[in-house]
Amino acid sequence: MSVFKVPDGILDEIHGLITRFWWGYKGEERKTPWVAREALICTKEQGGMGFRDLRGFNQALLARQLWHLYQRPTSLVARIMKAKYHKNVDVLEARVGYRPSYVWRSLMSAQEFLVDGLRWRIGNG
């Protein structure tokens, strides 16, 4: 999940398995859903069960990998990605390009999420 964007269909299946387990689903027999699906994903502080939203979690992990490429431009992976996909710009300004790998497309899907979350912080050094 930290390098590949998991397809929405697979995430829906996983969410379905979680809710069916919680609701007591057996074969074709349906049980009464005592808790809404959204309540399972909400944090405990908000009154939910605290299960992770897998789409958001996947996006956060991809943004983290993109952040590592930005913070460590001399690492081997960052140099390979730069040579292949974004020669003249940094990773935050890069575009998907023509026929990219699935890893690069996955990372670029989290780029807007990362850029929106960046903040300048004034320090003492």
Per the CB < 8 A criterion, the answer to whether 50 and 43 are in contact is yes
For residue 33, name the pLDDT band (cuts at 50, 70, 90). low
Sorted by where each begins, the domain ranges of the chain are: 8-52, 55-117
Per the CB < 8 A criterion, the answer to whether 4 and 103 are in contact is yes
Cα separation values, 67 from 27, 38, 112, Å:
44, 29, 12
Question: Is the whole-model pTM more than 0.85?
Answer: no
Q: What is the pLDDT of residue 74?
A: 94
- Kindly tell me if the per-residue pLDDT of 121 is higher than 80: no
On average, the pLDDT of the chain sits at: 85
- Please report, for the chain, how many H helices and E strands are present, in that order: 6, 0
Per the CB < 8 A criterion, the answer to whether 41 and 48 are in contact is yes
Which of 34-43, 52-61, 62-71, 82-91 is predicted least confidently?
Answer: 34-43
Token pair of 69, please? 């490429």
- 3-class DSSP state for residue 23? helix
- Kindly tell me if the per-residue pLDDT of 19 is higher than 90: no
CA–CA dist 56, 64 (Å, integer)? 12
Token pair of 40, please? 């399972």
Q: What is the pLDDT of residue 18?
A: 79
Mean pLDDT of 90-103: 88
CA–CA dist 51, 76 (Å, integer)? 35
